[in-house]
Amino acid sequence: MKKSNKTGFETDCIHAGQHPDKLFGSVSVPIYQCSAFAFDSAAQGAARFSGTEAGYKYTRLGNPTICALEDCVAQLEGGVAGLATATGMAAISTVFMTFLGAGLHLVSTGSVYGPTRTLIEREFSRFNVESSFIDTSDIANVKKAVKANTKLVYIETPANPTLAISDIAACAKIAHAAGALLVVDNTFCSPMLQKPLEFGADIVLHSMTKFLNGHADVVAGILVCKDPAVIAKMKGVLVQMGATMDPHQAWLVLRGIKTLSMRVNAAQENAMKLAIDIGKHPAVAWVKYPGLPSHPQFELAKKQMNGFGAMISFELKGGVAAGQILMDSVKVCTLAVSLGGIETLIQHPASMTHASMGSENRKAAGITDGLVRLSVGCESYQDLREDLMRSLDQIALGKAGGDSSQVCGI
């Protein structure tokens, strides 16, 4: 489907990048589960490899199902093209491998997804890549951190898991003045709630494992750009690394995107009410949710986001021990990492997703030992509220469990 200026986001989720199959008329994009594509002749094969004729050759280099997904997400983000990857980390690795090298410098959000930071500090540092991890929600920090050899400014907004929000337009201005690219991890928002390219970002990436797919059954990533030259450069690196996506993965994500707007709307409606209720519980020290006026960047969230999302972070007064009781008590919420699915997931970043950062780096990034990350899903709000309130009550009793017989019939 070609983009029409009149189509809404919900319509694009269902139709963008897709069309009925020309061979049999299948409404759903077919899964081209093959490694290679046959040529009509030796001349055609040579023409496709030389680039003088469009067409598919080998799935690592391109595949119709994967291309449909790339076109879909690129349209949702307002980019010129997309580049699907096997995982979210494959997307991140592709960006770093393409633009970083010996003697070059990266500026990044400090409370970034743990493995993103570990990749730079543990692996890329071996090749003399420099890095500065800072609080990018304070634009003065970004100005100070950028150097003559800075090649990338990399931000997560809202950040994982602190939900700190960075000014995309201001970061883009600073990055471009230094001759660097701005990369935005838009996983927490999805293109439904935030379009970083509209604010000056050069590259947007997603772990499509999360909101875009939304069903906890796929790992996948994607990169979207507004400059064809940037996407071409990254594709060259990606296909050499072999981190391309499988066609069946792509089909599953396309299926998930069709319900993106419905899922996000339901989840963020639950999240807003839960954030308010959780904040009233005596076991909770504070709650961070972009939709609460108490959030430090509430005004910025209203300016650059189209909704406040489904992610909540909150601090328990009892620290790690309290968090263990809470997580061992929930019955409707699922104790698991990841986020953005139809089910509500709860986890403890300091001991799980961000454990690899080390205690000092976590402390500097604002990831405290008592911080809990909640990815709110689409369950009945009343069931979620009762589950969390009952589980928070267990903290005062000093034990996990409690009577769960009234929760969803359990």
Does 272 share its domain with 235? no
| Residue position matching structure tokens 């494992």 | 209
Weakest mean pLDDT among 227-236, 257-266, 317-326: 317-326
Residue 242's CATH number: 3.40.640.10
Which element (helix H / strand E) includes 234? helix 228-241
The answer to whether residues 26 and 90 belong to one domain is yes
pLDDT at 369 over 90: no
- The tens digit of pLDDT for each residue in 105-118 reads 999 999 999 899 99
Say if residues 384 and 333 touch (Cβ distance below 8 Å): yes
- Is 37 among the domain residues? no
Helix (H) or strand (E) holding 150: strand 150-156
Mean pLDDT of the chain: 93
Return the pLDDT at 341.
Answer: 95
Tell me if 2 is assigned to some domain.
Answer: no
d(CA 198, CA 202): 10
**Greatest extent of the chain over all pairs of C-alpha atoms, in Å:** 76
**Of 201, 230, 257, at which residue does a domain stop?**
257
- Percent pLDDT > 90 in the chain is 84
| Local confidence band at 400 (pLDDT 50, 70, 90 cut-offs) | low
Domain end call among 257, 287, 305: 257
Between 288 and 20, the more confident residue is 288
Which helix (H) or strand (E) element contains residue 224?
Answer: strand 221-225
Does residue 98 share a domain with residue 177? yes
More confident residue, 349 or 218: 218
Q: What is the CA radius of gyration of the chain?
A: 22
Domain count, the chain: 2
Whether residues 280 and 253 fall in one domain: no
Q: Does 54 map to a domain?
A: no
pLDDT for 409 equals: 29
Q: Tokens for 290?
A: 């972009």
Does any domain span residue 355? yes
Half-sphere exposure of 160 (CA within 13 A, CB side): 31
- Dump the DSSP string for 154-192: EEESS-TTT-----HHHHHHHHHHTT-EEEEE-TTTHHH
Whether 404 has a pLDDT exceeding 60, the answer reads: no
CA–CA separation, 210 and 16 (whole Å)? 19
- Cβ distance 375 to 311 under 8 Å? yes
pLDDT-based confidence at residue 361 (cuts at 50, 70, 90):
confident
Report if residue 182 sits inside a domain.
Answer: yes
Amino acid at 179: G
pLDDT class of 410 with cuts at 50, 70, 90: very low
Element (H, E) at 222: strand 221-225
Question: Are 378 and 315 in a shared domain?
Answer: yes
In angstroms, the Cα distances linking 335 to 164, 244, 338 are 23, 30, 10
Mean pLDDT, range 225-253, rounded to an integer: 97
Full residue range of the structural domain in which residue 118 is found: 9-30+62-257
Query: For 33-73, what is each residue's pLDDT tens digit?
Result: 999 999 999 999 999 999 999 999 999 999 999 999 999 99
| Residue 72 resides in a domain | yes
Last residue of a domain, one of 231, 257, 283: 257
Closest CA to 109 of 31, 162, 39, 68: 162
229 plus 116 within the same structural domain: yes
Give a yes or no: residue 55 inside a domain.
no
CATH of the domain at 346: 3.90.1150.10
Same domain, yes or no: 265 and 375: yes
- For 285, phi and psi rounded to 5 degrees? -80, -40
Query: Could you tell me if 94 and 237 lie in one domain?
Result: yes
Per-residue pLDDT tens over the stretch 163-199:
999 999 999 999 999 999 999 999 999 999 999 999 9
Are residues 127 and 140 both part of a single domain? yes
Whether pLDDT at 202 is above 60 = yes
Indicate the length of the chain as a whole number: 410
The residues assigned a catalytic role are 60, 113, 185, 210
pLDDT 10s digits, 67-92? 999 999 999 999 999 999 999 999 99
Q: Are residues 275 and 303 in the same domain?
A: yes
CB contact at 8 A, 178 and 150: yes
**Do residues 267 and 308 share a domain?**
yes
198 and 307 part of one domain: no
Residue 410 lies in a domain: no
